[in-house]
Amino acid sequence: MEIKPHDVLLAIDVQNDFCPGGQLAVAGGDEVVPIIHKLEPLFEHVILTQDWHAPNHQSFASAHPGKHPFEQAEMSYGAQTLWPDHCIQGTSGAEFHPDLKLTRAELILRKGFRPQIDSYSAFFENDRATATGLGGYIRDRGFRRVFLAGLAYDYCVGYSALDARRLGFPAIVIRDACRAIDLNGSVSQIEADFAEAGVDLVNSSDLLDQRHA
């Protein structure tokens, strides 16, 4: 698959709290960093996203007495998985992984900062209606295809890819540049959603090999 000048690499939430030792660690989360570094030179445009929660965020189990992480709670916008406190604004857990050096990134988009609503997707919050502004930014910049990598495959990467399709952008998830939580069948569910929405799955080798073709 050939990378073109109007393509953009979206690196999702490669933050300390989603890496080993973090508050919501994804197994092997730090392993995506060297793969993303190999991919970056292929793209003229790179965007980073950063989970950025208020300390009292309502997606935290700690905000719901008697509830525990990974249980469900009913919010105004529907069912919400409750998480350990993570990626709190200004904490080391919210910082990008120290090995991540994407110095050419043109935008860092922070999401999930509204205390009353979670935001898996880089494009919409979990009510599926409140836009982050990323869709407009991508359209205004003239980008046409979105390639996604990062954490976690079955949540923030996956929801971002689905919303890119919803906004009319071709979306390609670079599978080996992601790691998954796989909570209650979430990987199989997101892949079924990908198939229905037309999200493409590739490996980094599919893109890197093209560079040497």
Could you give the 3-state DSSP secondary structure of residue 201? Answer: strand
CA pseudo-torsion sign 9, 70, 98, 110: positive
Catalytic residue among 13, 51, 118, 163: 13
Give the pair of three-digit tokens for residue 82.
């409750």
Whether 13 is catalytic is yes
- CA-based nearest residue to 153, from 38, 43, 55, 14: 14
Whether 67 is catalytic is no
Whether 156 is catalytic is yes
CA dist 90 and 55 (Å) reads 10
Could you give the 3-state DSSP secondary structure of residue 40? Answer: helix
Catalytic residue among 85, 156, 163, 178: 156
Catalytic residue among 30, 51, 87, 111: 111
- CA-based nearest residue to 45, from 98, 102, 96: 102
| Residues marked as catalytic | 13, 111, 156
